[in-house]
Amino acid sequence: MQSLTMLVSALESRRDKVAKEIAKIDSRLTTLARSLGSSRSRVRTAQTDRRQWFAQGEAPQLLRRFARTPKPPADLVRTLAAVKGYDRSLSGRLYKRFETAAFMAVNHAVRVGVLKRRRDGALASR
Q: Could you give the CA distance from residue 71 to residue 82 in angstroms, rounded to a whole number?
A: 15
Interval 105-110 mean pLDDT? 92
Interval 32-51 mean pLDDT? 65
Flag the least confident range among 37-46, 58-67, 83-92, 98-107: 37-46
- Provide the 10 A C-beta neighbour count for residue 63: 24
In this prediction, residue 41 carries a pLDDT of: 47
Interval 74-91 mean pLDDT? 90
In this prediction, residue 73 carries a pLDDT of: 92
Q: Could you give the CA distance from residue 100 to residue 53 in angstroms, rounded to a whole number?
A: 11
Amino acid making up residue 109: A
HSE value, Cβ hemisphere, 13 Å, CA-based, for 105: 24
Query: Per-residue pLDDT for 44 more than 90?
Result: no
Helices (H), 37-120: 58-66, 73-84, 86-89, 92-112
Query: Per-residue pLDDT for 45 more than 70?
Result: no
Q: Could you give the CA distance from residue 82 to residue 87 in angstroms, rounded to a whole number?
A: 5
Closest CA to 83 of 107, 108, 61, 100: 61
pLDDT band of 106, cuts 50, 70, 90 = very high
Query: Per-residue pLDDT for 72 more than 90?
Result: yes
Closest CA to 115 of 52, 66, 57, 81: 66
